[in-house]
Amino acid sequence: MWQAVRSELHPKGLEVVTVALDVDPQAARGWIEQTPPQHPSLIDSAHQVDELFGVVNVPNGVWIDEDGMIVRPAEPAWPERDNPPDYQKLADSPEVPEQLRETLKLAGGIRTQPVEYMTALRDWVANGKTSKYALDSDEVIARSGSRGKAEAEAAARFELGKYLWDAGRQDLAPKHWREAHRLQPANWTYKRQAWTLADPFQGPTALYDSCWVNDVRKIGAENYYPPLDLSPGRAK
């Protein structure tokens, strides 16, 4: 999905680093191998990007300048696509498995802003520090997500659960994940990871109180991603 962005902007000085979350590493490798990327394509089974950069969903993007300074914190990020999927049409297709139909219907209602996002990205690549989309350090910290005790513990609970799951203690992992979900309900990567391991379609299971379809329905598909805040920083 990001290869076209990389091809366009790498000659102008941008490197794209993709980070695979909430997937089984073997499954991620399968996807990546279909079209081996030219850019670094990483696998983050413990969700380090959540901890280090405040990522809470996929796709989320973070901008880092030439000096290693973050100039936009984690926010929803979409590339423009020539042929975006028509979710409603897919949902109506007789070939779609029944358990995916509701997911696809909801996916059709999710707000995405690829044109706005890519306009901002291109502007930054062209203009660097003087781009109105490049934020100063105080603004970057202020606009990064909240991390109080609850969010910090959610991160620790998530990582502990993932470690236990991978270590073969699948009996011990869910209680930590349920805690992570309770402590930071807005972190979709924690929920999606847990649901995916219980059911590849992230459908309802006895292990968790909720599932993707129910949680998205609860908040409304249009609120799945917060709107992009592309207002310039105070210093600009």
Site for other proteins, residues 162 to 191, rule: CB under 8 A: 163-164, 167, 169, 172, 176, 189
* Per CB under 8 A, 90 contacts other proteins: no
| 231 sits near other proteins (criterion: CB under 8 A) | no
CB 5 within 8 A of CB 79: yes
* Rounded least distance, CB 69 to other proteins, Å: 6
Contact set for other proteins, span 121-150 (CB under 8 A): 121, 124-125, 128, 136-138, 140-142, 144-149
User: Binding of other proteins at residue 155 (CB under 8 A)?
Assistant: yes
Q: Pick the piece of the chain touching other proteins (CB under 8 A) from 41-49, 91-99, 108-116, 214-222.
A: 41-49
- Binding to other proteins, residues 94-123 (CB under 8 A): 121
Question: From the CB of 87, what's the least distance to other proteins, in Å?
Answer: 12
Distance, CA of 25 to CA of 33 (rounded, Å): 12
Nearer to other proteins, 65 or 209 (CB): 65
CA separation for the pair 17, 53 (Å, rounded): 14
Q: Is 69 in the site for other proteins (CB under 8 A)?
A: yes
